Amino acid sequence: MDMSKFQWTREPESYKVSDGKVTITTKPHTDLWQRTYYHFRNDNAPVFQMETEEQYFSFVVKTSFEDSHQRFDQCGVVMYLDSENWLKGSIEYENDSFQHLGSVATNHGYSDWATTEIPADIKAMWYRLSRRQDDYCIECSEDGEHWKQMRICHMYEAAGKIRFGIYACSPEESSFTAVFTDMKITECAWLAHDGQQPD
């Protein structure tokens, strides 16, 4: 992966970028969220992305987060266009019993959050973000080989040039170090639908 193609949206104070590896140490009270339910807006998480106009591709990354420990500590894959239009997938720490594997799609300034509970001792996860024009799929894997679908969604402002990559943040009074490795771009692994034909 050519890391020189990536640029920071909100560069973190503490990070390291080397050949094929990115390490981010989060700051407290950093997050990505818009309005829904909580009625607040947080838009200050560090995001490291590259730009493309390619309409069909998949982006794969492995995340490791050994010392996440505070509610909502998170790191994962992201497609961040602007403060009101973005997509992310991650694991968010909850407590010493469980954490949330989930994704957020934010369109026109409103976020949703789709989650499932997983054990708190899982400290690494692979993600695959796939694009088919302005539709997107996020998948996860514990070994980088066997993938499970997390979300399919439409992004209203993501039909042309987009930016995608990685992020990490700590919404509460916390800090932890997230490690990103094994990044690669492949042909679109999210195949065309084999079933009902398009309208």
* Predicted local distance difference test score (pLDDT) of residue 199: 82
Per-residue pLDDT tens for 35-71?
999 999 999 999 999 999 999 999 999 999 999 999 9
* Predicted local distance difference test score (pLDDT) of residue 53: 97
18-29 residues labelled b (16+ CB within 10 A) or e (exposed): eeeebbbbbbee
pLDDT at position 109 over 90 = yes
Please report which residue ranges of 16-71 form alpha helices under DSSP H. none
Question: What are the structure tokens assigned to 190, written together?
Answer: 């999210």
Indicate the average pLDDT of the chain: 97
Q: What residues are paired with 104 via a beta bridge?
A: 88
Three-state DSSP state, 5? helix
- Over residues 6-29, mean pLDDT: 96
* Predicted local distance difference test score (pLDDT) of residue 44: 97
Per-residue pLDDT tens for 135-173?
999 999 999 999 999 999 999 999 999 999 999 999 999
- CATH class entry, domain 3-186: mainly beta
Closest CA to 98 of 80, 118, 84: 118
Closest CA to 127 of 158, 111, 150, 107: 150
- Match 């994704």 to its residue by tokens: 103
Three-state DSSP state, 10? coil
Pairing of strands 32-34, 41-43: antiparallel
Indicate the length of the chain as a whole number: 199
User: How would residue 19 be classed by pLDDT, with cut points 50, 70 and 90?
Assistant: confident
* Predicted local distance difference test score (pLDDT) of residue 198: 84
Delimit the domains of the chain by residue range: 3-186
pTM: 0.96
Backbone torsions φ then ψ of 177, nearest 5 degrees: -110, 125
